[in-house]
Each structure stands twice: as C-alpha cells, then as structure tokens.
C-alpha cells in the first residue's frame, strides 16, 4: 500500500545525512502518489511582511517566471490561505474560501493558467514553530484525492522533512531560539499591547480591563515611548518583530 510508503519515509527522514538524500525522499513519495511537483519552503517575516524561501522543489518549466511576471503572488489564494491555516488544506479549498473576494476573477485566471501547466490541484502542509508559521510543504499536479489518513501522514512527513532539512543546514537551533526582548514592558503594558494587536480600541480595552480611557492611553503612550514607535500601529509592528507578541 502507498500509505505504508509514507510510514517508511517518516523513518527514513531521520536517517538522512544530507539535504540531497532528504529531498529525494520527499520527491519520491510525492511521485509515488502521483504528484509531479513539490516544494519545501521556509516562511519568515521581514519588516512585518511574509517572505518565502524555497529550500527545495520542482515546478513546471516557465511557470514560476509567469507567476512572477503576472504578479500572481499578490492575489494567490493558496498563499493567502496559508498565512491563516493551522492544518493541511487543498488548493481548491483555498480558492473556495475566497469565492467572494474582489480579486476572485484574477484568482480564477491564475488557477486556469496553472492548470495549463499541469498544476490542476494539490495540497499544502503548514509547518509551525515557536512564532507561528515557519515553513510549509506543497505537492501538486493532477487532481488527486487523498484519504484523511494519507493527509495526516503527509502532514507528519512535511513537518519532519522541513525540520530535518533545517537541522542538516544548521538552521534549526536559530529558528527554535527565543530572543530576549530588547525592551521590558510591565504586565499591564503587555496586556494592553496584546489587546491593541487584536484590533481593539481604547474604549474596548478600558471596558475589558476596567480602567478609564485616559489610563489606557497613558499605557499606550508609555508602550510607544519604550518601543520608539511613531504610533500605535508602529508599536504593534515592532512588538511582533521583537517577539513580544505573536
């Protein structure tokens, strides 16, 4: 059974001594299931914006050039859905999630064009670290149906493959390391900052923690001063970068 191959890969990944060996395992299991294309991707944030770095992968010739030239990355439903996803999902499910999006027609054009390159459908397996999404594995090609058990095992393979590849490249410890905050906020300031990051107003925060609006503003001014922020939005962005909130 193909599902036994997934179980075997989970064991073999730990035995890989080079990145090339690991990538070969991922590529082989993808092809065994009928997926012609795959990618292992590291996700990070730079200045608050998501950034992707492909660790390994295989895509149709010219597709990535067309994807970039058409600026599909700005509206790609799979990429957008990934930033919120907590578990594995299918490409077509991501497209359905944005059925009422103002960019839906352009999304449809992108998916049709991807299909013309042999990318009819696929699956994405998010990999999370201490500070949220830190990578993902994607497999695609023909529209294939995976059983719930197969999805769960592919998900386990994805997590182990990304972390093992990072270990082999000497990057795992860096990503697991929790940085020491550059500033020290009080318990109440941290409470206010987290509510602010959740999009709450001074009025809403004051009602929840039962203090006056004036006091909430006083705390926020103190937070901005400590972080060197120009405004509240800037304070939240700095807090994310420094690992004060996630």
* Least confident piece of the model among 36-45, 132-141, 205-214: 36-45
Q: Looking at residue 42, what is its pLDDT?
A: 86
Nearest to 23 by CA among 8, 31, 13, 15: 13
* Least confident piece of the model among 73-77, 145-149, 153-157, 233-237: 233-237
The residue ranking higher by pLDDT, 129 or 15, is: 15
Contact 111, 102 (CB under 8 A): no
Which pLDDT tens digit goes with each residue over 38-94?
Answer: 999 988 765 445 667 888 899 999 999 999 999 999 999 999 999 889 899 999 999
Topology classification of domain 2-176: Beta-Lactamase (3.30.450)
**Do the domains at 2-176 and 187-241 have one common CATH topology?**
no
* Least confident piece of the model among 15-19, 45-49, 155-159, 182-186: 45-49
> Is the model's pLDDT at 177 over the cut of 80?
no
Nearest to 119 by CA among 80, 72, 83: 72
CATH of 187-241, one of 3.40.1080.10, 3.40.50.620, 1.10.10.10, 1.20.1050.10: 1.10.10.10
Q: Looking at residue 246, what is its pLDDT?
A: 64
Nearest to 122 by CA among 86, 73, 81: 81
Contact 155, 125 (CB under 8 A): yes
Token duo for residue 77: 């439903």
Token duo for residue 39: 């990618």
Please state whether the predicted TM-score (pTM) of the whole model is above 0.85: no
Sign of the dihedral through C-alpha 240, 244, 245, 246: positive
The answer for residues whose C-beta is within 8 angstroms of residue 78's C-beta and 6 or more apart is 91, 94, 95, 124, 138
Nearest-angstrom CA–CA distance, 246 and 198: 11
Sign of the dihedral through C-alpha 214, 220, 226, 232: negative
Contact 50, 43 (CB under 8 A): yes
For range 200-209, the mean pLDDT: 90
Contacts 24+ apart (CB under 8 A), 54-62: 55/19, 55/135, 55/162, 55/165, 55/166, 55/169, 56/19, 56/23, 56/26, 56/165, 58/27, 59/119, 60/117, 60/118, 60/119, 62/117
- Domain locations in the chain? 2-176, 187-241
Q: Looking at residue 70, what is its pLDDT?
A: 94
Nearest to 192 by CA among 209, 172, 176: 209
């Amino acid at each position: 059974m193909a599902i036994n191959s997934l179980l075997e890969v989970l064991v073999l990944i730990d035995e890989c001594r080079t990145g090339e060996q690991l990538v070969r395992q991922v590529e082989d299991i993808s092809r065994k299931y009928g997926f012609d294309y795959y990618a292992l991707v590291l996700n990070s944030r730079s200045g608050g914006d998501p950034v992707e770095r492909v660790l390994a992968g295989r895509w149709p010739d010219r597709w990535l050039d067309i994807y970039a030239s058409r600026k599909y990355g700005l509206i790609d439903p799979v990429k957008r859905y990934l930033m919120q996803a907590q578990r594995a999902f299918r490409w077509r499910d991501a497209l359905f999630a944005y059925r009422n999006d103002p960019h839906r027609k352009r999304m449809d054009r992108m998916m049709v064009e991807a299909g013309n390159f042999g990318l009819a459908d696929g699956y994405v397996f998010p990999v999370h670290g201490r500070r949220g999404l830190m990578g993902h594995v994607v497999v695609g090609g023909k529209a294939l149906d995976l059983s719930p058990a197969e999805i769960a095992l592919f998900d386990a393979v994805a997590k182990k493959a990304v972390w093992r590849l990072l270990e082999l490249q000497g990057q795992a410890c860096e990503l697991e390391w929790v940085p020491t905050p550059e500033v020290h906020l009080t318990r109440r300031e941290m409470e206010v900052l987290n509510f602010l990051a959740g999009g709450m107003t001074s009025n809403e925060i004051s009602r929840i923690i039962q203090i006056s609006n004036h006091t909430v503003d006083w705390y926020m001014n103190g937070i901005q001063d400590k972080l060197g922020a120009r405004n509240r939005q800037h304070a939240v962005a700095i807090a994310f970068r420094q690992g004060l909130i996630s």
